[in-house]
A and B are shown apart, each in its own frame.
Chain A
Amino acid sequence: MSTTSEQRKLELDRKKQKLAELKSQRKRDEESRVQNLLRAPTENGNAQNGASHRQTLSSDQVEEILREVGISAEPTIREESPAPPRGAHSENHLDPMSASASHPRISSLLSVDLEFSSVQTASTDNKDSAIYSKGTQTDDERISVGEFSLGSQEFDYDDDMIMPIDHGQFRGRAHSHDQDSPLPYNEEIAKLLGQTKHADKTLTRQDTEEKKSQHVQTVQPLSDEEKNRLTLDPEFLDSFNRSCKVIGRALNEDIDIFINYTKDPYEKAVTSDDLLHLAQVYYDETWTAKRLVTGMAFSEHHSDLLAVSYGPCDVPNEPPGVIVVWNTKSKRITAEFIVYCQSEIQSVAFARFHAHLLLAGCESGQICVWDNRLTSRKLPINRVSFESYYCDSKVIHFQSPLTTQAHTQPVSCLAVVGTKNAHNFVSLSRDGKICSWNVDNLTQPVDGKEMMAKDGKPASATRMSFPIGEMQTFVVGTDTGDILAASRNGADPTIIKTDVCYKGHNGTLTGIEFHRASGVVDFSHLFISSSHDWTIKLWSTKDANLKFSFESHPDLVLDVAWSPVHPAVFASVDADGNIFVWNLNEDVEGPVARLRAGAEGETVYMNKLIWSTDGKHVFVGDDEGRVHMYDVRESLYVLKSEEWNRFARVLSDMKESNEEAEKYNL
């Protein structure tokens, strides 16, 4: 057994050597001819190798090899029955054999290998790859340069083999390859290569010529004359008109082929940008990256300036508090001013009656003021600290002192109320302290009062809002969810007593705002609040029965704001990144527009929301330091006068249903 296997090994080695010799010969030959084939696809290369094997191994050899490995080679197949498919198979079969000859385990597995003779699939496989290469041949100029020609020869061969009709031809070819092989292999290969090479060359030449002519054609445009001649040619016109009619019909066909009847209209609103459209994202890599947007305010003097305060970022040595004043009218993302201070900024406001002053409430309880005028030194104001933290060369920064008279807790809300001649700057800190200031003198507050809840305990306030044109009465949202309405000028110099307490929310108040749009009907008694309890509620200071709860948000509602122009429109954001726009004249149950910021699966924590002063855009600040500007549909800011009356009716309906519900409850 061992001797036979050794013999076989030897035999195989010899064959391998022969093959290598042939290969190298062919390679040399090819190298000399095809020089531009630098990066011939390996696939094609393999096919070629296969071809060479097949051609070089004459059927005599096949027989010999077969006999050696144990099959008695059925010489009858070759000589007596022409049976080309079988002959072909045995030949094809040789391919994997000879390839595996290099494998050491072949000797032990010989019998298994022999069983391979049923590897008819292998031949079809070969054919498959042949078809593939053929495709590339027509496709790719580079491949066609020479590589494929051999392949194509081979494929012809294969094609013939699978076509029984081609019997005679096949046999002829089989002869030329298999039996006319008294010629030395090298010579045979050389001849073969030469032939194919030649054919190939002519082919590629034709190819390039064709291409060239086509290329030339595309470069040369039609002359006017030719065009005229063509457009007057009746035959051309005939076919042209026919095509045009087809196109005309296709154009007029107004069936929406993409209509999806199973689509939930509610879902549709989520993805639609019908009413909201992301127009711009304000962001600055150095100043705002990874910072939470803590506050936003529009300037009343320059309605295109939006001040945005940013919370701290993790990077050390970066100022914890930054305010960027963005120019929202500019097409480019433009930061007009950047200011910062050494305390986290909780809230920001423009001084309504001082166009150049920017106010900010700090975590420390201080109030910071920046003046963006060049000649700020002219100001006849005495301020305590003159730390000037730079920003833009124009900007000087001042800070209010930390005194017990003023705030000692984070200043969460700022407002400038009153008229040009009699106005106050009011600030609210988390401990419920409300300070009134004279904007011109920030060394000490005009007064500082503690906000007291109904039960006489200090209230921890989160948000505050004044009605339009009002400077005394206001509402404050608290941590517990209660909303306290009070008046600033009480008899007591140290505390503010709650006049009315609105109960309804079960979580911390995150946003509260009085109605802003003014028109034929006065709605200034309305205010709206958002809370961590996932709801938004509508209230009225005039009428206890007039209230409504909006419960569409799927997460903590973080801010809510009335449209400054439309009486029945407000917008809200939640922690899941949803932006809802509500139009109570159209729908009191759900938002008219829903939009989820960020990519699919990504949650953008939307913290703050503000409308532009013209009501055309909504600005939303997130926790990554981005402010998203959304364009709002025209219907939400170009309005008819009837909207006011409609909203009044909607409100009276709300009230009625509330009263009715109360009646049944009693």
Chain B
Amino acid sequence: MSDFEETIRRLQSEKGVVGIIVVDSAGRVIHSTIDSDATQSHTAFLQQLCEKTKASIRELDSSNDLTFLRLRTKKNEIMIAPDKDHVIMVIKDLS
């Protein structure tokens, strides 16, 4: 098992984690633990959200940058960790 998969597996074994999506900076899926439809939709919307957030942060302070995005919703918590060449999205079930 590669290092990459090992890390994904470890992350997935965390309590409440229902999905992990890794995409590259262009929004192409590198790895996903949920079905492709859900991956597609999540990627599309979350990527947009992430970009928008990033833009807003930079607009407010051009020397600043987004490092982590945590969304608390009624049903779940979505964590987005954007990096230079990839974005990791983790969906955690709250119940």
Contact = CB atoms under 8 A, between A and B. Distances in A.
Interface string B10-41: 11001111000010101111110000000000
A214 interface: yes
B3 to A, nearest CB: 6
Nearest to B23: A222
A237 B14 contact: no
A428 to B, nearest CB: 47
Interface string A215-259: 001101110000100111001110111111011101110000110
> Chain A CB within 10 Å — which of B22, B28, B31 has the most?
B28
B28 A231 contact: no
B51 to A, nearest CB: 11
A515 B10 CA distance: 53
B88 A231 contact: no
9 contacts: A220-B28, A222-B29, A237-B3, A240-B4, A242-B83, A243-B81, A247-B88, A251-B90, A257-B72
Given A218-B26, A220-B28, A240-B7, 15 more contacts: A218-B27, A218-B28, A222-B24, A230-B30, A231-B2, A236-B86, A239-B84, A239-B86, A240-B22, A241-B7, A243-B81, A244-B8, A251-B11, A251-B79, A251-B90
A227 B30 contact: yes
A230 B23 CA distance: 11
B94 to A, nearest CB: 10
A583 to B, nearest CB: 23
- Sorted from nearest, which 8 A-B pairs have the closest CB atoms? A231-B4, A243-B81, A251-B14, A222-B28, A217-B26, A239-B83, A243-B88, A244-B7
Contacts of A221: 28-29
Interface of B: 2-5, 7-8, 10-11, 14-17, 22, 24, 26-31, 44, 68, 70, 72, 79, 81, 83-86, 88, 90, 92
B11 A244 contact: yes
Chief secondary structure at chain A's binding surface: helix
A244 B88 contact: yes
Contacts of B11: 244, 247-248, 251
Contacts of B2: 231-232
Given A231-B4, A251-B14, A252-B14, A246 B68 contact: yes
Nearest to A223: B28
Interface string A193-229: 0000000000000000000001001101110000100
B4 A237 contact: yes
Contacts of B90: 247, 251
Nearest to A231: B4
B84 A251 contact: no
Contacts of A217: 26-28
B1 to A, nearest CB: 11
A251 B30 contact: no
Contacts of B26: 214, 217-218
A243 B83 contact: yes
Interface in A242-280: 242-244, 246-248, 250-252, 257-258
A246 B14 contact: no
A552 B7 CA distance: 54
